Structure 1
Amino acid sequence: MKKNYYVTTNGELKRKDNTIQLETKEGEKKKIPVKNCNSLHLMGQLDFNTRFFEFLGKQETLAHYYGWYGDYRGSFYPKEFLNSGLVVVNQSEYYNNSQKRLELAQKFVEGSSYNMLQNLRYYRNKGKDVEEQISEIENLREGTEKVDTAEDILGIEGSIRRSYYSTFNKILRDSFVFTKRVKQPPDNEVNAMISFGNSMLYSSILNEIYRTQLNPTISYLHEPRERRFSLSLDLSEIFKPVIVDKTLFKLVNKQELKPDKHFDKDLDGCLLNDKGRKKFVAEFEERLEQTIYNEKLERKVSYQRMFRLEAYKIIKHVLDDKEYKPYRAD
């Protein structure tokens, strides 16, 4: 399986013969084997040239850019090579038909809320007092069948997530305090990890959408807008509890990340420092490579592969009216 490469240092990226070379500000040179590269995640202050991007395009390799606080800023998205007018037309039809769009939006929230509940049930069995939030989320889930628009569904999803996030202080070690979700910029260590993890998940799912016939700008739960790949946002909701939150829980509760060693704070917000970022990336990648049994394929597949399988299910839904069933964690 091809690897994701994360560039956290400052320097220059350029084509060197038939591969990519990173030259740091200190003069150190490192090669990135492009034939083994699934995607690039660029987190440092980096210089490029057009030859570099032309080479990435020929290799069908995506590159994702992150801001100072680990927030997603954009992607280099090569020319699509699996174009299908039929898929795009049907995707658009499902968006333009309010009932069809509503049904897909409901499915995304059904999957995401189920996976949140699975996390909470795990910690309830570990003695954490999360029963109130489990009941609240179960009640909110029922409300998704009683609304008329995708916008209403997104509002319910927001209420579910607020209830879910309110348990984090009970799940995480006492050294990490979390009161509410704050973005742009994150105001504390937990928000910094959530923002960074969500950005990487969004990019990782976009990698897999690119390798299908789906148009990543046509979405159903989130409103499509200019300059964003909103279908990746839809699919990310399902996998946030499974990938991002479990990564965060493990790093904090096993004391692999500590507030005084792995984060930087300034007047504007909080971010993972270089050491913290590397630890989070390593655990995130380990999570992506973890395998789970897929009943349809009758074999184990990685979570990274599961993202693409989820996209294939969307294609079958819009082409063949085969009911989309979101991924549910065991």
Structure 2
Amino acid sequence: MNKNYYLFSNGILSADQSVFRFDGKDGKMVRIPVEGVSAFDLYGGVSITSGALNLATQHNICAHIFGYYGNYLGSFWPKEAYFSGDLTIKQALVYSDYKRRFSLGMKLLKGIQRNMYALLKKYNGNVSDLELNVTDNTIEALMLAEARMRKLYYSQLDEILDDDFKIGARKKRPPTNYGNCLISFGNSLLYSEFVTQSRKTSVNITIPFYHSPESGRFALALDLSEVFKPGLVDRMIVGMTKQGIIRASNDHFHDIGNGILLNETGKKIFVENWENWMNMASYNVIFKRKVSHRELIKMEIHKYAKEIEEIEDYNPIKLPKD
């Protein structure tokens, strides 16, 4: 099974024939068979040789680079393997059709709301005030409605989380408490997973329908990942903190100025649980087989492609289902 490889240490990523090789500054060397790699997530000071980039290009493997705060910075993006000029044009036409953009944005927000409801109800949280109030037919109104709804959602999520991990006001760079730190780190992992899975589709991940298509980011990944945040990121954080897998201490975090970040141990624990969570599978009635959370992300991108091709209306996924 292909998986993401997370490199937290400083070192050099190179290629030794058809195998990746990572030489850490601590003197340790790891050989990584190319057949087992879905993507690289780089958190340390990693130098990448041209041989490693060439091997990654041959096997359609991207490398995501993260900053000091665990925030996504960018990706090495090999040449497109499944590029479709026709689909790209259709995506651009959808973006230029304001009425259709608004309709898709409303579907997205209802999907986000449904998944927020599902997570809060799973933990017996209060959903009575979690309303979606859109004042007019503009994208700006949708974003304001989402911001209000998300603020209410986080306040209700705080009633479920242990005191040490309450979110309070959402702060990102740097995160100002343990709860904000975990959410920012998890959201970055989800975003990079969408970018990775988009490589296996013909969708142009740079053309959104909700967020603006700013340079330097894969805006469609921002759109589609929003609906997965409650059921994947937030649910995992609730589980990890309640089980004591992640602790609010120097064992897993460290202070930086006015913020708090996961230390290397904390990051390793988080991504180990994230990978297990991504590979966790449940029975899918449509495909009549077990489907992992990672596959669900790729399927969501395909579902959006069907909307663009006018084959099938896009209906955001519902998570959690149990």
The aligned residue for residue 304 of structure 1 is 294
The aligned residue for residue 25 of structure 2 is 25
Following superposition, the deviation at residue 321 of structure 1 comes to 4.7
Q: Is 1:209–2:198 an aligned residue pair? A: yes
The aligned residue for residue 198 of structure 1 is 187
Residue pair 2:8, 2:43 contacting (<8 A) in 1 also: yes
1-structure distance, mates of 2:275, 2:88: 31
2-structure distance, mates of 1:109, 1:32: 40
Following superposition, the deviation at residue 175 of structure 1 comes to 2.8
Q: Which amino acid is the alignment partner of residue 3 of structure 2?
A: K
Residue pair 1:247, 1:280 contacting (<8 A) in 2 also: no
1-structure distance, mates of 2:10, 2:44: 5
1-structure distance, mates of 2:307, 2:29: 47
Instruction: Give the match's secondary structure for 1:23.
Output: strand
The aligned residue for residue 129 of structure 2 is 136
The aligned residue for residue 292 of structure 1 is 282
Residue pair 2:12, 2:49 contacting (<8 A) in 1 also: no
Taking structure 1 as reference, are residues 117 and 293 closer, same or farther at Cα in structure 2, changes over 3 Å only?
Answer: same
The aligned residue for residue 181 of structure 1 is 170
Following superposition, the deviation at residue 154 of structure 1 comes to 1.7
Matched residues, number: 319
Matches within 5 A, 1:1-330: 1-124=1-124, 130-131=125-126, 134-137=127-130, 139-140=131-132, 143-144=133-134, 147-260=136-249, 261-329=251-319, 330=321
Q: Which amino acid is the alignment partner of residue 300 of structure 1?
A: K
Following superposition, the deviation at residue 160 of structure 1 comes to 1.1
2-structure distance, mates of 1:247, 1:61: 26
Cα deviation, 1:272-314, whole Å, max 9, x if unaligned, reads: 0111111111111111111123232122200101111111111
Following superposition, the deviation at residue 242 of structure 1 comes to 1.2
Q: Which amino acid is the alignment partner of residue 135 of structure 1?
A: S
* TM-score, normalised relative to structure 2: 0.95
1-structure distance, mates of 2:148, 2:186: 21
2-structure distance, mates of 1:324, 1:276: 37
Instruction: Give the match's secondary structure for 2:123.
Output: helix
Following superposition, the deviation at residue 29 of structure 1 comes to 0.7
1-structure distance, mates of 2:164, 2:180: 14
C-alpha RMSD over aligned residues: 1.3
2-structure distance, mates of 1:154, 1:291: 32
2-structure distance, mates of 1:262, 1:282: 14
1-structure distance, mates of 2:238, 2:261: 17
Residue pair 2:120, 2:157 contacting (<8 A) in 1 also: no
Deviates more, 1:213-222 or 1:291-300: 291-300
Following superposition, the deviation at residue 211 of structure 1 comes to 0.9
Residue pair 2:60, 2:199 contacting (<8 A) in 1 also: no
Q: Which amino acid is the alignment partner of residue 65 of structure 1?
A: I
**Structure (1 or 2) with the greater helix fraction:** 1
Following superposition, the deviation at residue 151 of structure 1 comes to 2.3
Q: Percent identity?
A: 34
Unaligned stretches of 5+ residues in structure 1 = 125-129
Cα deviation, 1:98-122, whole Å, max 9, x if unaligned, reads: 0111111112211111111101111
Unaligned stretches of 5+ residues in structure 2 = none
Q: Which amino acid is the alignment partner of residue 51 of structure 2?
A: R
1-structure distance, mates of 2:236, 2:7: 20
Residue pair 1:150, 1:220 contacting (<8 A) in 2 also: no
